[in-house]
């Protein structure tokens, strides 16, 4: 997108499958595959399983990151998909995650990051 550095999609995933949300392997694979399907280049992956339940993790991509925190007891997951540049489609990742967690309801909101107006771009452009 012109004049922005990135898109940050926030997902409120409700009525998800609690067993999926409590399975670190499934959550990690879902998040990593979402990044790959969206066209991102995965750099690092770090996930943690909580006791008695829940998973948190991050997939660091060259274009920024995807992160998740799950509450299986509520069937809820809070997910961030933050991508920069024009080569990655964050909505592909959003759809993949929603489907992977079997969310019956998901609310998304988008924050455009690094918004620049034409005046600022003209000031920093060489020549």
Structure token digits, residue 111: 């924050």
Confidence band of 120 (pLDDT split at 50, 70, 90): low
Specify if 125 maps to a domain. Answer: no
pLDDT digits (tens, 9 = 90+) for 79-112: 999 999 989 999 999 999 999 999 999 999 999 9
Specify if 26 maps to a domain. Answer: yes
Instruction: Give the per-residue pLDDT at 1.
Output: 47
Edge-to-edge, what's the strand order for the sheet holding 64-71? 42-49, 55-61, 64-71, 76-84, 6-14, 105-113
d(CA 115, CA 38): 22
pLDDT digits (tens, 9 = 90+) for 26-65: 999 999 999 999 999 999 999 999 999 999 999 999 999 9
Work out how many domains the chain is built from and give that number. 1
Q: Render the burial of 9-24: b for 16+ CB within 10 Å, e for the rest.
A: bebebeebbbebbbbb
Specify if 76 maps to a domain. Answer: yes
Q: How far is CA 113 from CA 10, 53, 55, 69, 117, in A?
A: 13, 33, 27, 22, 13
- The CATH number of whichever domain residue 105 belongs to comes to 3.60.90.10
Specify if 101 maps to a domain. Answer: yes
Active site residues: 64, 69, 84
Specify if 21 maps to a domain. Answer: yes
Specify if 51 maps to a domain. Answer: yes
pLDDT digits (tens, 9 = 90+) for 8-19: 999 999 999 999
Domain region containing 101: 6-114
pLDDT digits (tens, 9 = 90+) for 56-82: 999 999 999 999 999 999 999 999 999
């Amino acid at each position: 997108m012109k004049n922005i550095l990135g898109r940050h999609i926030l997902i409120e995933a409700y009525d998800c499958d609690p067993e999926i949300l409590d399975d670190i392997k499934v959550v990690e694979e879902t998040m990593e595959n979402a990044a790959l399907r969206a066209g991102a280049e995965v750099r690092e992956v770090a996930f943690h399983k909580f006791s008695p339940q829940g998973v948190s993790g991050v997939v660091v991509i060259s274009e920024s990151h995807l992160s998740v925190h799950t509450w299986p007891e509520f069937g809820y997951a809070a997910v961030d998909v933050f991508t920069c540049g024009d080569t990655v489609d964050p909505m592909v990742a959003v759809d993949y995650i929603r489907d992977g967690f079997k969310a019956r309801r998901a609310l998304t909101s988008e924050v455009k990051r690094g918004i620049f107006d034409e005046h600022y771009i003209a000031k920093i452009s060489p020549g």
